[in-house]
Amino acid sequence: MKKLTISQRKAAVGVLFCLPLMFGLLLLFILPLVQSFRYSLSDLNLVQGGFELEYKGFSNYVSLFVSNPTYIRELTEAVVDMVVNVPILIIFSLFSAVLLNQKFKGRGFVRAVFFLPVILASSAIANMDISSFVGSSTPGSGSGAEGSMLQSFELKKMMLEAGLAEVFVDYLTGAVDRIYEIISTSGVQMLIFLAGLQSISPSLYEASKIEGATGYEIFWKVTFPMMTPLILTNTVYSIIDTFSRNKISLTISETAFKVFDFGLSSAMSWVYFLVITLLLAVAAGLISRKVFYYD
């Protein structure tokens, strides 16, 4: 019997390592996905001892787009929120990771503080108004939501006077108004970037400094290219995470278990799934062209 080469043995170990995931994917994802597609093409009726399916073709999908404006509006809002929030999350988490990677006293404590909102971001806390933490806003007090609006208004006025485009200014001030949400949802991305920064060989920075590169040049010529694979990873993660926290999931659940229209709920789920898949494919395709892999 011919012995396996080193590469073949590594491949066999990799397949063996992935077998539990592949088995779980088949049982917990593929089979329910096929079953859900069957439901979306049928009218599921509860009967004594179980349920029965009545084939209806694509009528559930037609009903979804023709007579269900709430779902279309919520889906559009989810896509717009993703397009707006994901770039902000990536930029903020990368910037924060670069700062936290610097050597200073109490670095471990500061890292824990940055990641603390992720641990505490339960549904109850995430749904609480920010004024619960900073105090109720009263007229003229400048606290809570009113204070945030005042600060963003002043920032907007300053940037417009500096000659920046209004679209860019609105985007930045919108990020300032959502700073609590951004911090509370960027902990995982920050940790991934931080791990990537610590894996960069110090010899690359030493060589850059010997060549006379400035800190700005080192970031864009060394740090940023080495982070591009993780930017792709964090973008995919952020898109999925953004879509997992919106009204669409609640609407699908209520349609199935409150209205008991399982066929329409399955159609909603499939449209939702296809939209997320399309956005992931577009984002991954665009970013992967600029990804740099250091060998």
- Within a domain: 48: no
**CATH code of the domain in which 91 resides:** 1.10.3720.10
CB distance 231 to 98 below 8 Å: no
- Within a domain: 96: yes
Identify which has the larger pLDDT, 216 or 129.
216
Task: Please tell me the distance from the alpha carbon of residue 40 to that of residue 267, in angstroms, as a whole number.
Answer: 5
List pLDDT tens digits, range 65-92: 888 888 888 888 888 888 888 988 899 8
Domain total in the chain: 1
Give pLDDT, residue 227.
92
Lowest mean pLDDT among 42-46, 55-59, 171-175: 171-175
CB distance 269 to 221 below 8 Å: no
Give pLDDT, residue 153.
61
List pLDDT tens digits, range 173-200: 666 666 777 777 788 888 899 989 998 8
Give pLDDT, residue 286.
92
| 12 pLDDT above the threshold of 70 | yes
| 139 pLDDT above the threshold of 60 | no
- Within a domain: 23: no
- Within a domain: 183: yes
CB neighbour burial string for 226-243, b if at least 16 within 10 angstroms, e if fewer: bbbbbbbbbbebbbebbb
Give pLDDT, residue 67.
81
- Within a domain: 31: no
- Within a domain: 2: no
Asked whether the whole model's pTM tops 0.75, one would answer no
Task: Please tell me the distance from the alpha carbon of residue 44 to that of residue 257, in angstroms, as a whole number.
Answer: 12
Q: How many helices (H) and strands (E) does the chain have?
A: 16, 2
| 140 pLDDT above the threshold of 70 | no
List pLDDT tens digits, range 245-295: 778 888 888 888 888 888 888 899 999 999 999 999 999 999 998 888 876
Instruction: Write out the residue range of the structural domain in which residue 154 sits.
Output: 61-136+144-289
Task: Please tell me the distance from the alpha carbon of residue 189 to that of residue 237, in angstroms, as a whole number.
Answer: 8
- For residues 41-45, average pLDDT: 83
List pLDDT tens digits, range 163-177: 767 766 676 666 666
- Within a domain: 235: yes
* Segments of 36-131 assigned E as strands: 42-47, 50-55
- Within a domain: 99: yes
Give pLDDT, residue 172.
67
Q: Max CA-CA distance within the chain?
A: 85
List pLDDT tens digits, range 89-134: 899 899 988 888 888 787 777 777 777 766 665 444 445 444 444 4
